[in-house]
Structure 1
Amino acid sequence: MPTYSIHITGQVQGIGFRPFVYRLAQQFRLCGWVSNQMDGVHIKVHGKEQTVQQFYQHLSAKTPPLAHIQSLSVVRTKDEAFDSFQIHKAPTATTAKLVLTPDLAMCADCRSEVKDRYNRRYQYAFTTCTSCGPRYSIMAKLPYDREHTTMVPFVMCEACAQEYDDPDNRRYYSQTNSCPQCPVTLTFYNARKHLITTDQQHIIPATVKLLQEDKIIAVKGLGGYLLMADATNAQTIARLRERKHRPSKPFALMYPNLEMALQDVILSKEEKKLLLSPEAPIVLAQTKNHPTSGIQAALIAPHLDKLGIMLPYTPLFELLLTQFGKPVVATSANRKGSHIVFRDEEAFEQLVGIADFILTNDREILVAQDDSVVQFTPKHRQKITLRRSRGIAPSFETALGNSESITNSLALGADLKGTFAFTTAGNTYVSQYLGDLTNYENLLNYERSLKQLSNLIDFKPSRILTDKHPAYASVQFGKKLAQRLSVPRVEVQHHEAHFAAVLAENQLLESTEPVLGVIWDGNGLGNAGLIRGGEFLLFENNSISPLAQLAPYPHLLGDKMAQEPRVAALALCFNLEGATEILRPYFTEVEWQLYQKLLQSEQYTSQTTSMGRVFDAAAALLGLCSRNTYEGEAALLLESVASRASEAHELVGYTLEAFDGHNLPVKNVFRQMIEDVQRGIIKQQIAARFHDTLVNMIESIATFYSLQKIAFSGGVFQNSLLVDLILEKLSPNFQLYFHQQLPPNDACVSFGQLAWMKLKDKQKVRADEPASEQKYTIQ
């Protein structure tokens, strides 16, 4: 009989794909073998052509739920005879050409076993199967086999080995398989590393008892340690805020189950589905007017109308929350500004003075990952990823292909929301969120994560892409790396990278129609010393070019302006009637005189078009926030207040000044806001009108240039109310494009740098072609 070779690429390792193939081969009575290899899954079978064809069709039609197939091919090969169908070990190889499987939340089957007192895994905190458990966080090498993970020290007992070898068992070839007889072991300490207990039956009840006694516990999860505390106890939450130096930034909550979460938040079907998904991210959900679980909502998310909630995604968390019976604060265990603690020795070094006790285990974590964060807009249910990390990273579905300029290119992103990205062998990888790289510990973790993933894939860059900002830590690192590897480094303008990212995610890099890019964020280095952040860019003929911008205004006092919305308000409202009465109380006499002198003499060092600072100024003008205690605080408060306006979607925006074809003034918007404040108009209405005005700005530019396609990127588009208003008011007349997988904030910049480089490659190809006629007109 003829022999066929089948090759499958995509997310096909670590999710039970080989056992699936084995069982399918048994069903069709085919002989041969299946193997994980460095470029995906390989299958060889011999049988009748019609039978093999049916087998091949079933491979793509009935895949395991977590599989994502990129390509599937079959070819006739030299005839071979096989006596049975087997799972083979992978041959030795070095370079990976596959999609990596992220860590997966506990599946329903494992949850049932953990709760079944007659099951041998009853209350076992590390129960997993081929459908769930750690993957990326424990991979030391590829392909994904037990000996290539941190599960190596845990030798399976006889019962686990039987499951592992049984084709009819869901743990067939489950690389993380273990049980109470061959366990990953819990250990409980106080924060000064004094051992409390190693009794596996007693540890979880002891932890729960201390949570009930208002203690703060650091618990080792999949991607690092989480700090847990009773979410119903005001004193405990206050103590956690004091210890973490986190006066206002909202905390995430973990609920024992969905039913209890529904006591406190309103959840749509999309939000419920995501909470229960294998990704199991934090979901920002609308807080009910009167939460009934007992949580201290005002202390958990001060002055905000949303709560970040998640469900237990590991058996350990399931056991803790079930026994505790109430929601807990569950926030990354770290010092302020630093990455999540993931190494055991770091936990005892860095969490002294923050956690009272530490619950750890002896399974090593190789890759630090925070929890991912997602929200949906309230009205139109547009998904917005805010943090892409555990459960999602590092593989990426939007592959950029094999063009010469991006193959083996390493993009180092920006600083505030650090990520890196690279392409190799046709696959694209975008790292997990790695924090603010101006923090040295975060930069070290960024470098460590890059080394870990590069070694895993055997990736060696032939080109380095960085931002243009010379002071960025990622740029400095890129310079040194390029010199050490003797490879070229290319600088990519910040907002062009943003635009390229959203274009690529929406398959618009090949668009023959022009696209308007609305790129709004805090800042990015532009030309001639201008700090940009309110940009309208044009994509046409494979090229990105400036089109329009917010009218520049004074950029006062460098980073101080981003930290203090009162300064942004002063810059934008200078010389406006009524502004002094509103803003003067925010400043000391010395400050006021100094800043007035700076503005009058124009001695400030630069100008900015930042939309982020426009939001800050509006928040300060309404008395919501004069100083940010965390990044984006003023904008979040402004959005929250605007969302509470009962007629938010009906209010008419402020009148815009005439557009001159390049600069879009905002001074008149603030003049009208000041008038509303003086008239005693409620803050909710003023904030809502401000949001509507921004939509009108976008419409005015698109109409002015007769552009029908509009793409959005930048941190401002984390604002769910703004996105809803854009969808509602612009979708009837325009085609709108938002990020699909990536956050709109700076975490998308690394991928955008790769996409930008691909555009440069396309420009070279078309360099000798005659220029096409411009398809937009100035009216």
Structure 2
Amino acid sequence: MYTAIKVTVKGKVQGVGFRPFIYQLSKKYHLNGTVQNNLNGVIILAEGEEGQLGNMVDEIKRNPPKLAKITEITIHPAPLAHYKEFTIIPSRENGRAVPWIPADAGICEQCLEEMMDPSNRRYHYPFINCTQCGPRYTIINRLPYDRPYTTMKDFPMCPDCQVEYEDPLNRRHHAQPICCPDCGPTLSLHNQGGESLAEDQSAITRTIDLIKQGHIVAIKGIGGFHLACDAYQGWAVDRLRLRKKRPQKPLAVMVKSLEAARGLCHISRIEEDILMSPEMPIVILRSKGGDGLPPTISPGLSTLGVMLPYTPLHHLLFNDHRLDCIVMTSANPSGHPILYKDEHLKHVRNMCDYTLTHNRRIDFPIDDSVVQCDGEHPLFVRRARGYVPEPLKTTSDVDRMIALGGNQKNTFSVGSGDTIVMSPHVGDLENEEMISSFDYQLRHYKEYLGVNEIRTVVDKHPLYASPSIAKKLKGKTISVQHHHAHHVSCMEDNGLNEPCAGIILDGTGYGEDGNIWGFEFLYGDAQSYERLAHLTYTPLPGGEKAVKEPWRNAVGMLLYYWPESGKELCMKLFPERVKEIKIMDQMIVHQINTPMAGTCGRLFDAVSAILGICQVSTYEGEAAIKLSDYMNRTKLESTGETYSFHVIRSSPNQFQLDLSPMIDEIIQDKFQQPITAIAQKFHTTLVSCCIQMVLELFRNRPELNRTVVLSGGSFQNVFLAREIRQGLQKEGVNVYTHRNVPCHDGGLSLGQIIIAAHTLEGR
């Protein structure tokens, strides 16, 4: 029976070769009609034999293009229009659904083969791409995703590219960044003074020479400039750190192949899949050691952030086999936004010896994504290139809401209808440059999505940047408690709506009682929450200064827990700080600039300082990260031995966790036991006390739903997350961890926007 249907396909279906795919199916199944993009997705009008139409729909569902991600397919009968052929027709700028902005994708195998083929017209061309790979998000001015709305409009297609672009059977059909050496972007190498030294292939060859000679070269990539140097030359790494003002924070490396990565690190099958995925993020791997890499790449850690070449240019840098592994880190001073515009070159040149740049504009900057694996699942450390911006469907009405996130590892979320679009990692909003970058990206998203906000959601912390940013935006402001947002972020990440318990472990969050929270046992949902238990408070002498100097945390705890003997203990542990300890003692007694805090991050800081691992942090979380790393260094012995702690009932329905006995025992062990053994016992104690506290809460309140979510930055510690999850599951508790957004403050805006939606609904 000859009939007609209208098929609407929604999801990630633009910029992924979807229309050519449909065209090829029309030929395969002898169908006539049209296929077209609009802001709703892809619209297919197809006529043919009923069985063949069914075959087409079945293949769309089973075997879409590699980069596509279908979220919805609707099929309706349509009147016969008696089309003579099947055609791809121009995009329409209509539709009411939230548009799916295509993400940048690493180079595909077919393009890589062509680039290495001397007979191919794109041989060694560093901007080769097709519908399955290349820049997307970073070059788009506006939607729909068509070449005139990208920075590729600066490069008119040559006749050969035009033929490929217009041929529905060609894999570059409607590949918007399509180009070749005759019509596309070009490379140029410059010295610090801006003088041009070489172009195109000779620029690549000279760059390899310079890196091998120990020079630092800034390389313009997809989302901004990177600083690159030979990872095996320690003095070059040291110079890069000095210029970037990044003394200790780990540096990522790019290796030429998966085999080279295996030479450096232990790689599981899941980690291999992530490394080789179209997103091609940095993956945090366990280093094998003894590989010749200088320890200054990842100081004090047994892990290494590794990525594979994801652009054609990267592959060409490794092509002549003189380079095996290069440091590849974003070209910006620490704490400042990524540099990506040509006018930024004057700042870039302050950090490098040479610049390898190109003349394709970047409209939207983006960092490399960072992922780690918990043994079963990938976990986001930084959600950015390749993964952003992927719309998240919700059952909440988030229309025209904007959530501004937190101050650290910031992301924001924009709501449109029943869809949330989260920004990529922005960074820490600690200076005007970062706030300006935040403003620019937020403005861009509002234009993309056509959103004029009616509500702006911020963290309750009065000193965060978000409340002042919100004053510049339209509509009313809703404030959300930090840990409630973490709790709901994990619930939303897992599609949970019923009230549940949450263990929220992080560094800092403004509490409802004016103290600093961060070791919380909550119960609730997006409408409300109840604080069931928390870590006992101890003083932070110097406030923010104690966050950057972990030894102050330790001193604060010791002087508070043991007013008489604590001072002597402090002087024994930190003999070079005697004068400061006496001052801090008086600060605590007289409560001068000494906020009270009960957070997991500060607990890690204190133990790290006591054990001599890290007394002053040069980057956020350094003390905790270096202490956690001891769990990777030896095969863990499951002794189950823990330090002492107390679970205290402070009221009929609230408990406190007192870890002072553990601190006392750790200090005793410091002078008798190896650090690795102490670190393992400390971690095991935290797992045990969290499990015991949850079970005590459920015993006290048997009516509570026996479901727990785990959120907060401390759950980047894979051991804590895995062991607490497995321990609670053995007790019959349902446990959920983050999957699609980071557990740290990078996921905060998701929880904020959901809570705000329910707050308004409740009103």
Pick the TM interval, shorter chain: over 0.9
Change (3 A) 1:625 1:109: same
Deviation at 1:192, TM superposition (A): 2.6
**Contact 2:540–2:552 (CA<8 Å) still a contact in 1?**
no
Moved more, 556-565 or 449-458: 449-458
| Alignment correspondent of 2:368 | 371
Deviation at 1:696, TM superposition (A): 1.1
**Contact 1:251–1:330 (CA<8 Å) still a contact in 2?**
yes
| Alignment correspondent of 2:627 | 638
**Contact 1:651–1:688 (CA<8 Å) still a contact in 2?**
no
| Equivalent residues in 2 for 1:746-765, closer than 5 Å | 746-760=745-759, 763=762
SS of 2:739's equivalent in the other structure is coil
SS of 1:222's equivalent in the other structure is coil
Deviation at 1:683, TM superposition (A): 0.6
**Contact 1:642–1:686 (CA<8 Å) still a contact in 2?**
no
**Contact 2:683–2:720 (CA<8 Å) still a contact in 1?**
yes
SS of 1:371's equivalent in the other structure is coil
Percent identity for Structure 1 against Structure 2: 34
- The separation in 2 between residues aligned to 1:677 and 1:589, in whole angstroms, is 20
| Alignment correspondent of 1:769 | none
SS of 2:356's equivalent in the other structure is strand
| Alignment correspondent of 2:312 | 315
Q: For each residue in 1:257-298, what CA deviation from the matched residue of structure 2 results, as whole angstroms up to 9, or x when unmatched?
A: 11111111110011111111111000000000322xx322x1
Change (3 A) 1:73 1:608: same
| Alignment correspondent of 2:387 | 392
Pick aligned residue for 1:664 from 638, 657, 672: 657
Change (3 A) 1:553 1:66: same
For 2:603, the aligned partner's letter is V
| Equivalent residues in 2 for 1:406-445, closer than 5 Å | 406-445=398-437
Deviation at 1:45, TM superposition (A): 1.6
SS of 1:374's equivalent in the other structure is strand
- The separation in 2 between residues aligned to 1:701 and 1:95, in whole angstroms, is 48
Change (3 A) 1:212 1:282: same
Deviation at 1:461, TM superposition (A): 1.4
| Alignment correspondent of 1:570 | 555
| Alignment correspondent of 1:100 | 101
SS of 2:319's equivalent in the other structure is helix
For 2:372, the aligned partner's letter is Q
SS of 1:91's equivalent in the other structure is coil
| Alignment correspondent of 2:177 | 176
**Contact 1:712–1:739 (CA<8 Å) still a contact in 2?**
yes
**Contact 2:286–2:304 (CA<8 Å) still a contact in 1?**
yes
- The separation in 2 between residues aligned to 1:107 and 1:11, in whole angstroms, is 18
For 2:486, the aligned partner's letter is H
Pick aligned residue for 1:354 from 348, 351, 354: 351
Pick aligned residue for 2:540 from 555, 561, 570: 555
Q: For each residue in 1:680-711, what CA deviation from the matched residue of structure 2 results, as whole angstroms up to 9, or x when unmatched?
A: 11110111111111111211121112263221
**Contact 1:188–1:195 (CA<8 Å) still a contact in 2?**
yes
| 1:740 correspondence with 2:739 | yes
SS of 2:6's equivalent in the other structure is strand
SS of 1:684's equivalent in the other structure is helix
Pick aligned residue for 1:691 from 670, 674, 683: 683
**Contact 1:223–1:370 (CA<8 Å) still a contact in 2?**
yes
Pick aligned residue for 2:376 from 360, 373, 381: 381
**Contact 1:255–1:311 (CA<8 Å) still a contact in 2?**
yes
Q: For each residue in 1:524-564, what CA deviation from the matched residue of structure 2 results, as whole angstroms up to 9, or x when unmatched?
A: 11123211111111026953221111111113212101100
For 1:468, the aligned partner's letter is K
**Contact 1:224–1:341 (CA<8 Å) still a contact in 2?**
yes
SS of 2:154's equivalent in the other structure is coil
SS of 2:175's equivalent in the other structure is coil
| Alignment correspondent of 2:702 | none
| Equivalent residues in 2 for 1:491-570, closer than 5 Å | 491-509=479-497, 511=498, 514-539=499-524, 543-570=528-555
**Contact 1:98–1:427 (CA<8 Å) still a contact in 2?**
no
**Contact 1:191–1:355 (CA<8 Å) still a contact in 2?**
yes
Deviation at 1:322, TM superposition (A): 2.6
SS of 1:262's equivalent in the other structure is helix
| Alignment correspondent of 1:598 | 587
Change (3 A) 1:586 1:196: farther
Deviation at 1:306, TM superposition (A): 0.1
| Equivalent residues in 2 for 1:204-353, closer than 5 Å | 204-291=204-291, 294-296=292-294, 298-323=295-320, 324-346=322-344, 348-353=345-350
| Equivalent residues in 2 for 1:12-27, closer than 5 Å | 12-27=13-28
- The separation in 2 between residues aligned to 1:727 and 1:745, in whole angstroms, is 17
| Equivalent residues in 2 for 1:63-78, closer than 5 Å | 63-78=64-79
**Contact 1:335–1:350 (CA<8 Å) still a contact in 2?**
no
Q: For each residue in 1:580-632, what CA deviation from the matched residue of structure 2 results, as whole angstroms up to 9, or x when unmatched?
A: 34555355343121011122344444211111100000100100011001111
**Contact 1:3–1:47 (CA<8 Å) still a contact in 2?**
yes
SS of 2:260's equivalent in the other structure is helix
| 1:650 correspondence with 2:647 | no
**Contact 2:38–2:95 (CA<8 Å) still a contact in 1?**
no
Number of equivalent positions = 746
**Contact 1:96–1:458 (CA<8 Å) still a contact in 2?**
no
- The separation in 2 between residues aligned to 1:534 and 1:735, in whole angstroms, is 20
Q: For each residue in 1:360-390, what CA deviation from the matched residue of structure 2 results, as whole angstroms up to 9, or x when unmatched?
A: 111111111110000113xx43432100001
| Equivalent residues in 2 for 1:13-52, closer than 5 Å | 13-52=14-53
SS of 1:232's equivalent in the other structure is coil
| Alignment correspondent of 1:717 | 715
Deviation at 1:112, TM superposition (A): 1.1
Change (3 A) 1:670 1:382: farther
**Contact 2:485–2:755 (CA<8 Å) still a contact in 1?**
yes
- The separation in 1 between residues aligned to 2:542 and 2:760, in whole angstroms, is 39
- The separation in 2 between residues aligned to 1:426 and 1:725, in whole angstroms, is 35
For 2:148, the aligned partner's letter is E
The alignment's TM-score, normalised by the length of structure 1, stands at 0.93
The alignment's TM-score, normalised by the length of structure 2, stands at 0.95
Q: For each residue in 1:297-326, what CA deviation from the matched residue of structure 2 results, as whole angstroms up to 9, or x when unmatched?
A: x11001100000000000001101233422
Structure 2 unaligned regions, length at least 5: 699-704
Deviation at 1:761, TM superposition (A): 5.4
Deviation at 1:53, TM superposition (A): 2.7
Deviation at 1:47, TM superposition (A): 2.5
- The separation in 2 between residues aligned to 1:179 and 1:75, in whole angstroms, is 41
- The separation in 1 between residues aligned to 2:728 and 2:318, in whole angstroms, is 44
**Contact 1:105–1:314 (CA<8 Å) still a contact in 2?**
yes
| Equivalent residues in 2 for 1:122-161, closer than 5 Å | 122-161=123-162
Change (3 A) 1:285 1:686: same
SS of 2:11's equivalent in the other structure is strand
SS of 2:33's equivalent in the other structure is strand
| Alignment correspondent of 2:616 | 627
- The separation in 1 between residues aligned to 2:118 and 2:66, in whole angstroms, is 28
For 2:476, the aligned partner's letter is P
SS of 1:480's equivalent in the other structure is coil
- The separation in 2 between residues aligned to 1:41 and 1:600, in whole angstroms, is 67
SS of 2:462's equivalent in the other structure is coil
- The separation in 2 between residues aligned to 1:227 and 1:525, in whole angstroms, is 36
Change (3 A) 1:542 1:119: same
Moved more, 408-417 or 636-645: 636-645
| Alignment correspondent of 1:767 | none
Deviation at 1:146, TM superposition (A): 1.0
Pick aligned residue for 2:450 from 431, 444, 458: 458
Deviation at 1:86, TM superposition (A): 0.6
| Alignment correspondent of 1:768 | none
Change (3 A) 1:542 1:94: closer
Deviation at 1:95, TM superposition (A): 6.1
Change (3 A) 1:702 1:581: closer
For 1:290, the aligned partner's letter is G
- The separation in 2 between residues aligned to 1:763 and 1:704, in whole angstroms, is 31
- The separation in 2 between residues aligned to 1:352 and 1:218, in whole angstroms, is 8
Structure 1 segments of 4 or more deviating over 6 A?
A: none
